[in-house]
Amino acid sequence: MKLSVIAGARPNFMKIAPIMWEIARRPGVTAQLVHTGQHYDEKMSKLFFEQLQIPKPNIDLEVGSGSHAVQTAEVMKRFEPVVLEQKPDAVIVVGDVNSTIACAMTAVKLGVPVAHVEAGLRSFDRTMPEEINRLLTDAISDWLFVSEPSGIENLKKEGTDPKRVFFVGNVMIDTLVACRDRFSAAGGLDAFGVRPNEYVVLTLHRPANVDDPAVFGGLIRAIEAVQRDLPIVFPVHPRTRKIMAAQSTHLPNVKLVEPLGYLEFMNLVSNARFVMTDSGGIQEETTFLGVPCLTLRNNTERPSTVDQGTNVLVGLDPDRIIAAAQTAVRADRSAHRVPELWDGRASERIIDVLTR
Ligand code: UD1
């Protein structure tokens, strides 16, 4: 069996890593790794390949940044000849970025079946570009690999044939389980001058949060208040850095740092008092680790992190965020459950299904 595995943007890399490790263990299964180049900075891409021991991509489409239409179209244009030449038996796409839908659509139209890993997640917010990517990718994929029960329900309500749906667990947690022993050696806390359990980790990059100055200004006001009580370590996404450069802020207790590698970041998260984020994946990682997470959004496509995990949706209102941060400082770390099948073996189940 010859597979083509797609990696495009940072949150894809920790999802494809365990799939590539699993394929390497299986006799008779081979994979071409295609990097679309959606993320290209060393700290947004190459560092993850090194730390997660992902083989060097066989092909780099080097699409780079662009508007949604330009980026998606460019991936499709450059991926089509690759599929025609490689003739894979199936294409594996993960997550919900532009590269995910672009490669899925290209493959399906050439008659190559597609497996979508992390299928069925829905925020029910169609203003989010990722929600459109999720809906479209699920509609055209042949295998839908689901990470939490809400995914099964959502796909059922959309009329999806249950024979296409497989509840396999969470590949990102596979990576976490496999790398966990290496987190503490990655360091980082001393470099940022913080002590375990006495700081907050912050990430912000959603267009809806950072691109609108009124929303972003409100978030900065909340961050100003939180940092008076606890230092904040804030690895800044390139999109957010551009916006911050244009804002005047007074954040003396916030350490603004470059995007971090997987191991350093996970070490910081594991030791944090709590995390504030608008990322999707970090909601799941904090749930697994039992670290309180305040999600700076009005919705989540990952409800099991709220129902069972440590996640609280705090929205974008500064006063609500400040109040939630005061509660999180006192949160009980033991009061959480790890969702079903988040056990480090999702990739194994995926390759089992595909080889069957
Ligand atoms: C993309 C994904 C989002 C994911 C996020 C994680 C889509 C629609 N969005 O958003 O789901 O949560 O990645 O990071 O696919 N840039 C660099 N260096 C890079 C990459 C980007 O400087 O290596 C800058 C560019 O100026 C670019 C901007 O960041 O215009 C945004 O990058 P882009 O890939 O378009 O979207 P993200 O916001 O990263």
Instruction: Tell me the per-residue pLDDT of 218-257, one tens digit each, with 9 for 90 and over.
Output: 999 999 999 999 999 999 999 999 888 877 788 999 999 9
CA dihedral sign of residues 133, 135, 136, 140: positive
The pLDDT score that the predictor gives to residue 334 is 63
User: Residue 336's pLDDT band (boundaries 50, 70, 90)?
Assistant: confident
- Percentage of the chain surpassing pLDDT 90? 94
Q: Which residues are catalytic?
A: 205
Verify whether ligand 1 is closer than 6 Å to residue 249 (CB atom): no
Average pLDDT value for residue range 194-207: 96
State the amino acid at position 301 in one-letter form.
E
| Separation of first and last alpha carbons in the chain | 11
Angle CA 183–185–187, to nearest 5: 85
User: Residue 210's pLDDT band (boundaries 50, 70, 90)?
Assistant: very high
Q: Is the pLDDT of residue 38 over 80?
A: yes
Verify whether ligand 1 is closer than 6 Å to residue 315 (CB atom): no
User: What six digits make up the tokens of 24?
Assistant: 């390497």
Verify whether ligand 1 is closer than 6 Å to residue 224 (CB atom): no
Rounded-to-integer distance, Cα 121 and Cα 137, Å: 11
For the chain, which domains are there?
2-169+341-355 (3.40.50.2000), 182-335 (3.40.50.2000)
- pTM of the predicted structure, to 2 decimals: 0.96
